[in-house]
A and B are shown apart, each in its own frame.
Chain A
Amino acid sequence: MNLYAEARSGALVVSVNEERLDAAIAIRFKDLMREVTSQPSQRVVLDLSHVTFLDSSGLGAVVAVMKSLGPDRRLELAGLTPNVERVFRLTRMDSVFSIHRSVDAALREGIRNVG
C-alpha cells in the first residue's frame, strides 16, 4: 500500500500510488491513512489520479477515512478516473465530498477561499 503525503499550500496532499482501491487493500489503506493524517492539517486532499479501479470496499474505506478525520477537518478528493467517478456517482456519495479535477485545481481553490 503505497501512499505519499506532502504538505502543500496549507493542505496535506496524500497521493494513493496504487492502481486499485479494492477489497484486497481497503483495510491497509485505512490503517495507513490514519497514520499519515495524524499530522494536523485542516484540509486533506486525497489524490486518486493513479487509481483506475475502486469498488464498494474502497469507497467504504474512503468514507471511513473522512469520518476518522473528525468534524473539523475536510477530506477532499482529486483526480477521479472514470471508473472511480462512476462508483461515487452511482452511490450518490459524490454529494458528500468536495471533488476536484486535479490536486492543482484543489489547491488553487483553497487559496481563493482563504483570500
Chain B
Amino acid sequence: MRREAKIFHHSFSADPLSVRTALRAALARFIRHITPDEAGTLELVLAEALNNIVEHGYGDTGEGTITLSLVRDLRGLSCSISDDGVELPATCLDRAFGESDRPEPDSLPEGGFGWFLIRDLVEDLGYHRANGRNLLAFRLPLAPVEGIS
C-alpha cells in the first residue's frame, strides 16, 4: 500500500513566543527522520524566515497569522510559509535574491545576517505575493533516506 506524504501544517500568531512553539512542533515532527545537523539547520532557517515576518510584517499592531507547511520528499523538506502581513521589504528581497552585500565581520554588524543564512542553506527559494498574502517557499536539502516514495 502506498503511503501518502504527510504534510506538517501549523498556523500561529506572528509573535516571537508563538514562533518558538511552532519551531518546537516542526522539529518534533521531523526529528526522528533527519540527522542532528539537518535538524539544527532546519530550525535555523525556519527561525530566520519566521522572525523576519514577525519583525517586519505587521508594524506596531503585532497582530497577524503565519502558516507553516512542511513536507518531506525525495530531495528534502519542502517548506512554505504564508502570512497576511505587509509585502516583503525591498531590503529583504535584495538580500534574499542576491542584489545586496553580506554583512562584513570586521564591521561588527548586529544584523542583516538572516537572509544570507537562509540563502546559504536552502534551495529554490521563492517569494510570491497575491491577494494581500505573502508566500515564501524553499527546500531544505536532506540526505537521501529509504522508504520515501
- Taking Cβ atoms with an 8 Å cutoff, the residues of A that contact B are 20, 22-24, 53, 55-57, 59-61, 63-64, 66-67, 82-83, 86-87, 90-93, 95-96
Contact = CB atoms under 8 A, between A and B. Distances in A.
Nearest to A82: B40
Contact of A23 (B40, B43, B47): B47
A64 B108 CA distance: 8
Interface stretch (B48-56, B68-76, B81-89, B136-144): B48-56
A52 to B, nearest CB: 9
A23 B54 contact: yes
A83 B40 contact: yes
A55 B40 contact: no
Contacts of A82: 36-37, 40
Interface stretch (B2-10, B14-22, B59-67, B122-130): B14-22
B13 interface: no
A53 B43 contact: yes
Interface of A is mostly: helix
B110 interface: yes
Contact of B110 (A64, A83, A86, A95): A64
Contact of A87 (B105, B111, B117): B117
Given A22-B16, A55-B51, A83-B40, 11 more contacts: A22-B51, A23-B54, A24-B20, A56-B111, A56-B117, A59-B113, A63-B108, A67-B108, A82-B36, A86-B41, A92-B105
Instruction: Report the 9 A-B pairs with minimum CB-CB distance, sorted nearest first.
Output: A24-B16, A56-B113, A60-B110, A83-B40, A23-B51, A56-B114, A55-B47, A92-B105, A60-B111
A24 B117 CA distance: 19
Interface centre among B37, B103, B121, by most A CB within 10 Å? Answer: B103
B120 interface: yes
Nearest to A92: B105
Nearest to A24: B16
Contacts of A66: 108
Nearest to A55: B47
A80 to B, nearest CB: 12
Nearest to B17: A24
A55 B110 contact: no
A31 B52 CA distance: 22
Contacts of B132: none
